[in-house]
Structure 1
Amino acid sequence: MNYLILILFLFPYPLYSQLNGVGLGPFRIGMTTPDALPQPGFQEQELVVVKGTLALSCTNIRVFKADSIEIQGILVASLFLVFYENRLFRITCEYGEPLQTAFIAQHGQGQKRPTKRLALCDRSDAKRLVLESESWQLGDCMALAIRAVGTNARCEPEQTSRLTIASPSVAAITSECDLDHLDAYFEEIWMKQ
């Protein structure tokens, strides 16, 4: 435990800083633009479409992905940055132990949310998918960590943990756009707060 505290104090800058806006490392909600992203680390994803359609695109939304990127000494995997009108409004990434430790050290324990148990697969041997989550109010933004363990809708075993930091006001404006591929269980928890 003492080593963990020592490591956190050795970071040159806090992983999350309220002074420069809410975010993850250099990526700040409402401040970061696509032009500010490091070129070799991110790839722009396909156009986002309106839910339930294949042709109607959400033209004001752009999504960039980094398979893996180091942010102030922590390796963050599967990082998605979502922009609305070229301003960052959502960050979603894997919520591994090093990131979890740094996030909790900065913001404290989140508010535990009720556990959900979903039967997504109709096979008799399928385990219910258990969703555990906790949330944080970070100024005008919210952070939501979701852990999913069980059998997913493709009847495959799943064990995942994702962190999303977002602006609720912009998320509401863009709710008709299909962003489920970033975190399949985000809306199940976020929209039912």
Structure 2
Amino acid sequence: MSNHSIKVSESSGDYAVVGEAAVVPGGGFGINARAAANAVFADDALVDITGVDIGIGAMDEDIDYLGHNTPLKAEVRKNTTVTLTFKRKNVVFDVLYTGDKNGNIARWGTTSGTALNTGLEEPTTYYGYRLYIQMKGSNEIFTIKNCQMTASNITLSPDGTQEQSIEFTSMVQPKLNSTVDVADTGDGEI
């Protein structure tokens, strides 16, 4: 099991993003590692979420064979998209998505070590983030494995309220359980 967190720290207005071999980032802000202790909604979980949008879909490809009038529709892959909208408190997700002063970008998570993925490598069972979504008043937990940040938007309004939306996308089939799924992603799931 990969137990690495991502830390965002600030010094003199400059931000730095690093992978850490810790369950919770030491100092600064960041994203907790995938561990049973963090899975059941730690104190620093996003509690000010104003919207969650979950989209489950599939990408099909039409194949035509010469001499045949019937096209074949083949499913290429499934995808799950999660958009989290929340009140913007700091620049953590901006830095994770766009990068820090040294060009380190954390939108693809960490490798099996503490190095940040570049988005150019072949996805592994440790690739990306894992999202746990538990709806209020429900015991079921929706687990989306191997997510990567695919969009970041900030909404400004005249009254000064800022909201931020972060979109995560995964090609691994999501799971709906009554317990948190901290198991590694299987080789056949990628």
Q: So what's the TM-score if we normalise by structure 1?
A: 0.29
Which protein has the bigger strand share? 2
Q: So what's the TM-score if we normalise by structure 2?
A: 0.29
Higher RCO, 1 or 2 (CA under 8 Å, sep at least 6)?
Answer: 2
Which protein has the bigger helix share? 1
**Which of the two has higher C-alpha Rg?**
2
